[in-house]
Amino acid sequence: MNKLSLLLFAGCLFAACNNSPKQDTPATNTDKSADNTPPTLNYTVVKAFPHDTSAYTEGFLFHDGQLYESTGTEPEMPADRRSMFGTVDLATGKITPKVELDRNKFFGEGITFLNGKVYQLTYTTKVGFIYDAKTFKKLGEFTFPSNEGWGMTNDGTNLIMSDGSSNISYLDPRDFHLVKILGVTDNNGPVSNINELELINGFLYANQWQTNYILKIDPASGKVVAKLNLDSLAGQIKSQYPGAEVLNGIAYDSTSGKVYITGKLWPNIFEIKFPL
Residue 43 has pLDDT above 80, yes or no: yes
Q: First vs last Cα of the chain: how many Å apart?
A: 77
Q: Taking residues 104-129, report their average pLDDT.
A: 98
The mean of the pLDDT values for the chain is: 90
Q: Taking residues 115-138, report their average pLDDT.
A: 98
Asked if the structure places residue 244 within a domain, the reply is: yes
What was the pLDDT predicted at 117?
A: 98
Look at residue 273 and give its three-state secondary structure.
strand
Asked if the structure places residue 114 within a domain, the reply is: yes
Q: What is the pLDDT of residues 149-182, one digit of tens each?
A: 999 999 999 999 999 999 999 999 999 999 999 9
Asked if the structure places residue 15 within a domain, the reply is: no
Q: What whole-number percentage of the chain has pLDDT above 70?
A: 88
More confident residue, 177 or 20: 177
Asked if the structure places residue 66 within a domain, the reply is: yes
In this structure, what CATH number is given to the domain that contains residue 190?
Answer: 2.120.10.30
Question: How confident is residue 34, by pLDDT bands cut at 50, 70 and 90?
Answer: low
Asked if the structure places residue 223 within a domain, the reply is: yes
Question: What single string gives the DSSP state of each residue in 222-261?
Answer: -BEEEEEE-HHHHHHHHHH-TT---EEEEEEETTTTEEEE
Asked if the structure places residue 36 within a domain, the reply is: no
Q: What is the pLDDT of residues 203-226, one digit of tens each?
A: 999 999 999 999 999 999 999 999
Closest CA to 113 of 153, 57, 160: 153
Per the structure, the complete domain to which residue 130 belongs is given by: 49-273
The number of folded domains in the chain is 1
- For 63, phi and psi rounded to 5 degrees? -145, 125
Of 13-17, 115-119, 174-178, the range with the lowest mean pLDDT is 13-17
Look at residue 200 and give its three-state secondary structure.
strand
Asked if the structure places residue 55 within a domain, the reply is: yes
Question: How confident is residue 35, by pLDDT bands cut at 50, 70 and 90?
Answer: confident
275: left (phi over 0), alpha (psi -120 to 50) or beta: beta
What was the pLDDT predicted at 25?
A: 38
Of 17-21, 99-103, 238-242, the range with the lowest mean pLDDT is 17-21
What was the pLDDT predicted at 36?
A: 87
Name, in order, each residue with C-beta under 8 angstroms of 188's C-beta and a sequence gap of 6 or more.
none
Question: How confident is residue 31, by pLDDT bands cut at 50, 70 and 90?
Answer: very low
What is the rounded distance in angstroms from the CA atom of residue 180 to the CA atom of residue 195?
18
Asked if the structure places residue 17 within a domain, the reply is: no
What was the pLDDT predicted at 5?
A: 43
Name, in order, each residue with C-beta under 8 angstroms of 198's C-beta and a sequence gap of 6 or more.
60, 61, 153, 204, 205, 206, 250, 251, 252
Residue 11 has pLDDT above 90, yes or no: no
Name, in order, each residue with C-beta under 8 angstroms of 60's C-beta and a sequence gap of 6 or more.
67, 68, 69, 70, 196, 198, 248, 249, 250, 251, 260, 261, 262
Residue 13 has pLDDT above 90, yes or no: no
